[in-house]
Structure 1
Amino acid sequence: MSGRLPRIGDWTDLDGLAKVQDSLLPGTLAAAAASPFYRTRRAGVPADRAGLAEYPLTTKDDLRDAYPFGMLAVDRSRLATYHESSGSTGTPTASYYTDADWVDLVDRYARMRVGIDKTDTFLVRTPYALMLTGHVAHAAARSCGATVVPADNRSLATPYAKVVRLLKDLDVTLTWSLPTDTLVWAAAARRAGLRPDRDFPALRALLVAGEPLSPARRDRIARVWGVPVVQEYGASETGGLAGECPHGEMHLWADRAIFEVYDPATGRISADGDGELVVTPLCREAMPLLRYHIGDRVEVSHRDCPCGWALPTVRVLGRFSAGAGITQLGLEELVFRLPAEYGVLFWRARHTASGLRVQIEVDDRHAAVASAGLLASIGTAHGLDAAVDAVPPGTLVPPGVLTAMPEVMKPRGLFTADEDWDRALRYY
């Protein structure tokens, strides 16, 4: 990508947005032609939307088969970073970025509607290591002048109790995490005798991504902490793909990518509607992706939004379902519609041949009414047999998880008589 990146405001309507996309697409197709993977797929296609449409969908299996550098479109000496996905739905996929790619990644992340500046202390609680998410948040926050607290959620050095201490002692103003993490922090804070909505006065917003988030759970998190919950959507292979406008609508960054919606039942591909997301990033050097089938179920619309951005809106439904029309997002919505005074933060469910079984953590005094209420909601929404078990707090998220202290030890071989030498040479 050379030249200035598009800025919101460079267009005022969908026709103007299409012109922005059309100006970037020839460079994207040219970059893809240098990739071993795309070099064998199409040759001599027009460098426009008609040419793009001649490419079949690129799948995750394609990326896995191309591991590690079959998608590489530049000399390896130009790479800035290498990453792999979490592998939550299968074998991880590789992705890589040049310095110019990183300018785009950081710029998209910094579009967060709450803003990030030098007065912020920004706690990053998503994975670092090979995944992209923590590194992008860190780099974007630093580019805005913020102080970064690299807390990482895959490290034994920062268990939940320590995160709570950091939030309070460092006057953290912004956090970046999974939505679920924010609820675990709340439970850990309460274990420490703190009130999330009162004892963290510096906190001004919780930034979240990485899993589907129903409106009811979002509202519950905001109520528990007393601050806005701001959502972003993206993937390791692409970086951020959508973010919220000042009116809270999630918009696809269609000035940086072309988005399509694929219906797996019919094979139909359209610009909007319900289906699975397909994306062609337009500002990518190291690893161009043409019509990449991410697989997330989405609802995309081109309806007007008061923000005036003229970008499509998206609702991300996730990938996981359990049959009978049951999705995690839909069931989560029912769970978190239970009255907040019941205190339900954690739940799990399993759908088997004998029906749906749901467990919710809830105090004994609310157990009966919470179970009955959720059972009724499931029956109304899905019309199927279900069993709802109210389990005591600490069943799904054990107290030890909330109170554990860091347990990190440098490897060594010499111990005193009263030390546990079975830990010799261990890193944990």
Structure 2
Amino acid sequence: MTMPATFAELTKLQEDRLPATLAAAAASPFYRDRVGKDLRDLPLTTKADLRDAYPFGMLAVPRERLATYHESSGTTGIPTSSYYSAADWEDLISRYARMHVGIGPSDTLLVRTPYALMLTGHVAQAGALACGATVVPADNRSAATPYATVVRLLHDLDVTLTWSLPTETLLWAAAARQAGLRPGHDFPALRALLVAGEPLSRAKRDRIAQLWQAPVVEEYGASETGGLAGECPHGTLHLWADRAIFEVLDPETGRITPDGAGELVVTPLFREAMPLLRYHIGDRVEVTYRDCACGWALPAVRVLGRSADASPALEELVFRLPAEYGVLFWRAKRLPAGLRIQIEADAWYADAAAKELAATVESAYQVKVVIEALPPGSLVPPRVLTAGPEVMKPRGLFDADEDWDRALRYY
């Protein structure tokens, strides 16, 4: 897929495609009486609208043309439906395959994001297969692939690429150490860690890359839309504005602009089964139109998380602690008088880690902070990292010394 060479060319591409997008949307029950000629005259489509339209109120093609049905994880409320035709899947795959590190027949991609009803694992698998790669489906919602199994697969199968939440890679590093393996040394085939699904601070990204001695490549998207942005070879996250129109909502004023800081609004341009017009995702972003050394005439984006989520900025301070302190895991709680933060740190550096983090957080937030530096294994117990799979098929007959409470259920 050829990228636009200039921002003017990008604008023309969007303008040329928009009439077909509006016409497709008019075929769905939700948009039938809402669509006009000017996109900017339309109200925003919200997650509440998608929930109210459950399950097929957004459908714009006959049911016979659907290829897959999905639902979001529901992390911010009731799950929303999304569905894709075969043509929609061609678009999803093409966007995933834009990874600048490349995906090819010599690659083995370990997919450690949810399958089931969510989209992310299925997109990664389809995209990798389309590029000729081997896929290892290590779904992170299945008891059949605990962390010890993931580490074994990474090592024994010479996995070259992984697809996961950023935090997953830290858990793998801890599990590898529990197994007597060294991240960054005993996994020589690993050439990149592909991540998405949570805001990623620069300090955490650098720590992951340092641990695994492999570049971290970020993507951004949603179940309702598929991939929306990808990273160029120069480390800039670019919105796929040749596949969608992006806008930024200022939640304070209600003003909507093509760039700036605010909440992301997206109109996919090549969506057939479930067109979305001015869909308000709700993620806080900062969008800029500027030249990039990669040559892509696509806007740059910084994803800052949900509007009420301050954890990415706090996480940046946690991972600025020196690597030798051994801090991989942390948690924080808001208190009436300030913040309580717990970190795991090597015993030798525990006091230094607590003092340094307290000073930086108090300076940044002007609040009282209580830091507790706990021994490794306090926040992520070793049993979580070393447990084997506990999976059995449903059965009816058990021996006297067996746990028959597991009858008829998968674990």
**Do they fold alike, i.e. is TM over 0.5?**
yes
1:64–1:92: 8 Å Cα contact kept in structure 2?
Answer: yes
The CA deviation string for residues 99-148 of structure 1, in whole angstroms up to 9 with x for no partner, is: 00000000000000100000001100000000000000000000000000
Letter paired with 2:18: L
Contact 1:257–1:280 (Cα < 8 Å) also in 2: yes
User: Which among 345, 348, 354 is matched to residue 328 of structure 2?
Assistant: 345
Does 2:24 match 1:31?
Answer: yes
Shift of 1:364: 1.7
- Tell whether 2:377 aligns with 1:394: yes
Alignment of 1:320-339 (within 5 A): 321=308, 327-339=310-322
Q: In structure 2, what residue type is equivalent to 1:101?
A: D
- Structure 2 counterpart of 1:148, from 135, 150, 162: 135
Task: Give the AA of the match of 2:117.
Answer: L
Displacement of 1:86 after TM fit? 0.4
Shift of 1:8: 3.2
Amino acid aligned to 1:79 = L
Q: Distance in 2 between matches of 1:40 and 1:386?
A: 53
**Is residue 97–residue 128 contact of structure 2 (8 Å, CA) maintained in 1?**
yes
Q: For residue 2 of structure 2, what is the aligned residue in structure 1?
A: 8
Matches within 5 A, 1:96-175: 96-175=83-162
Q: Structure 1: which 4+ aligned runs deviate by more than 4 Å?
A: none
Equivalent position amino acid for 2:352 in 1: V
CA distance in 2, matches of 1:351, 1:16: 48
1:239 equivalent in alignment to 2:222: no
Cα pair 2:285 2:304 within 8 Å, conserved = yes
Distance 2:298 2:160 in 1: 29
Distance (Å, rounded) in 2 between the aligned partners of 1:38 and 1:172: 45
The 5-angstrom pairing of residues 78-89 of structure 1 reads 78-89=65-76
- Distance in 2 (alpha carbons) for counterparts of 1:261 and 1:287: 22
Does the 8 Å CA contact 1:321/1:328 hold for their aligned counterparts?
no
> Superposed, which structure 2 residues align to 1:20-99 within 5 Å?
20-42=13-35, 45-46=36-37, 51-99=38-86
1:223 paired with 2:217, answer no
TM-score (norm 1): 0.95
Q: Which residue in 2 is equivalent to 1:412?
A: 395
1:298 aligns with 2:292: no
Letter of the 2:217 counterpart: V
**Distance in 2 of aligned mates of 1:178 and 1:321:** 20
Q: For residue 18 of structure 1, what is the amino acid of its counterpart?
A: T
In structure 2, what is the Cα distance between the partners aligned to 1:25 and 1:320? 29
Counterpart of 1:264? Answer: 251
CA–CA distance in structure 2, aligned partners of residues 164 and 354 of structure 1: 41
Distance across 2 between alignment mates of 1:320 and 1:341:
33
Deviation sequence 1:301-346 (CA, Å, 0-9, x none): 0111101111000000001636xxxx11100000000000001000
Q: CA offsets per residue over residues 348-393 of structure 1, 9 Å max, x none?
A: 1111222111111112211110011011111221111111111111
One-letter code of the match for 1:37?
F
- Aligned equivalents of 1:97, 1:293: Cα separation in 2: 19
Instruction: Classify 1:375/1:393 alpha carbon distance in 2 versus 1 (closer, same or farther; 3 Å).
Output: same
Q: Is the CA contact (8 Å cut-off) linking 1:28 and 1:284 kept in structure 2?
A: yes
* Deviation per residue, 1:36-95 (Å, 9 max, x gap): 0011324xx22xxxx101110000000001000000000000000000000001000000
Structure 2-normalised TM-score? 0.98
What is the RMSD computed on CA atoms of the aligned residues? 1.0
Structure 1, unmatched stretches of 5+, are: 1-6
Q: Distance in 1 between matches of 2:241 and 2:225?
A: 13
Matched residue SS, 1:16: helix
Look up the equivalent residue of 2:313 and give its one-letter code: G
Q: Which amino acid aligns with 1:128?
A: Y
- Tell me the equivalent position of 2:339: 356
Q: Deviations over 1:257-305 (max 9, x none)?
A: 0000000001111011100000000000000000000000001001111
Paired position in structure 2 for 1:17: 10
Taking the aligned partners of 1:385 and 1:8, their CA distance within structure 2 comes to 52
Q: Percent identity?
A: 73
Match of 1:195 in 2: 182
Find the residue that maps to 1:37 and give its secondary structure: coil
Q: How many residues align?
A: 411
Secondary structure in 2 matching 1:221: helix
Verify the 8 A CA contact 2:284 2:307 in the aligned structure 1: no
Distance in structure 2 (CA, Å) of the matches to 1:416 and 1:13: 71
Are the aligned partners of 2:247 and 2:266 in contact in 1 as well (CA < 8 Å)? yes
Letter in 2 for 1:145: G
Q: Any conservation in 1 of the 2:160–2:189 contact (CA below 8 Å)? A: yes
* Counterpart residue number, 2:268: 281
Is residue 320–residue 328 contact of structure 1 (8 Å, CA) maintained in 2? no
Aligned counterpart, 2:163:
176
1:384 is matched with 367
